[in-house]
């Protein structure tokens, strides 16, 4: 049976650390997979996270637009870490909204039943609309040629 990955999470081996200022020490940042580090890497977590909302389609549109503006601002100032973090928030807007669309209350596992997978299709259909909004902005960020070049160079140099 599949269990949530957070059950065996070992913070000591996690590449991203909450006590590092990644603007001051960008060389310590790793791109990683998907959304890794998004809720840890400061100061970007605080700068971007306060705008991250997906309750309704309208809220998702406002949120994703603001986060995309931050993404573009980070690119303009040459801050790859900030741009990558903004891209991760856009991706996370999509994945979290999809989880709430698929599962009632956004809960995928039942902790009282040995983390059995809950029934899919019980979630909020409005979250599916919010997910579409974030998906579009996420893919727009990933398609940005400046970002793509910076990401390729960063991963080659640092991982």
Residue ranges of domains in the chain: 35-152
Structural contact between residues 102 and 61, judged by C-beta atoms closer than 8 angstroms: no
Q: What is the pTM of this model?
A: 0.88
Strands (E), the chain: 109-110, 116-117
Task: Fill in the DSSP letter of residue 42.
Answer: B
SS3 state at 59: helix
Residue tagged 């997979």 (tokens):
33
Mean pLDDT value of segment 19-23: 96
pLDDT digits (tens, 9 = 90+) for 50-67: 999 999 999 999 999 999
- Given a cut of 70, whether residue 130 has pLDDT beyond it is yes
Confidence of residue 113 (pLDDT cuts 50, 70, 90): confident
**54: closest CA among 81, 86, 93?**
93
């Amino acid at each position: 049976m599949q269990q949530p990955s957070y059950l065996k999470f070992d913070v000591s081996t996690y590449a991203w650390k909450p006590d590092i200022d990644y603007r001051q020490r960008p060389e310590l940042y790793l791109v990683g997979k998907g959304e890794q580090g998004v809720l840890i890497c400061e100061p970007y977590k605080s700068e971007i996270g306060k705008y991250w909302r997906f309750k309704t389609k309208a809220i998702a549109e406002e949120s994703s637009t603001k986060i995309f503006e931050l993404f573009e601002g980070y690119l303009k100032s040459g801050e790859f870490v900030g741009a990558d973090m903004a891209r991760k928030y856009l991706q996370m807007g999509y994945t979290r909204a999809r989880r709430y669309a698929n599962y009632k209350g956004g809960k995928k596992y039942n902790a009282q039943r040995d983390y059995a997978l809950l029934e899919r299709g019980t979630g909020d259909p409005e979250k599916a609309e919010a997910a579409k909004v974030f998906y579009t902005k996420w893919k727009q960020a990933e398609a940005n040629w400046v970002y793509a070049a910076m990401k390729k160079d960063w991963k080659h140099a640092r991982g």
